[in-house]
């Protein structure tokens, strides 16, 4: 299954970029959206980890009633997001001299 990365406009006026999965919820009012690696998009277009000052978690559950709308990110913003999530490059291997 391909990642679905979206921009989320939240009811509290925050704007996030995140991979999102819909999760079936048995009870009304229970969280039904799984946000994976969400980042807040600041006014100057930088990306900050969602709730990064209080937790190191990278997966969050959220009720869809907290989300006003979902849209596709611009190619530039998607690239910036993917770059943040990319694992760091390993330095080139150096031969061991005997």
Mean pLDDT for back-to-back runs of 10 residues, the chain (98 residues): 87 96 75 93 94 94 92 96 85 71
Pairing of strands 15-22, 33-41: antiparallel
With beta carbons less than 8 A apart as the criterion, state whether 32 and 22 touch.
yes
pLDDT confidence of residue 58: 94
Please give the class, per CATH, of domain 5-84: mainly beta
As a whole number of angstroms, the longest Cα–Cα distance in the chain is 67
Identify the residue whose tokens are 């600041």: 42
Q: Which pLDDT does position 67 carry in this prediction?
A: 93
Q: Which pLDDT does position 25 carry in this prediction?
A: 64
The domains of the chain are located at 5-84
44 dihedral zone (left: phi>0; alpha: psi -120 to 50; beta): alpha
Instruction: Give the integer Cα–Cα distance in Å for 15 and 50.
Output: 10
Q: Which residues lie below 8 Å from residue 46, measured CB to CB, with a gap of 6+?
A: none
pTM: 0.82
Q: What is the dihedral of CA 13, 18, 19, 23, to 10 degrees?
A: -30
């Amino acid at each position: 299954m391909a990642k679905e990365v979206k921009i989320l406009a939240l009811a509290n006026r925050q704007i996030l970029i995140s991979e999102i999965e819909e999760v079936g919820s048995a009870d009304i009012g229970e969280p039904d959206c799984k946000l994976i690696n969400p980042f807040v998009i600041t006014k100057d277009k930088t990306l900050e980890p969602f709730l990064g000052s209080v937790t190191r978690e990278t997966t969050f559950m959220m009720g869809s009633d907290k989300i006003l709308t979902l849209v596709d990110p611009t190619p530039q913003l998607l690239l910036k997001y993917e770059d943040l999530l990319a694992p760091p490059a390993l330095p080139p291997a150096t031969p061991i001299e005997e």
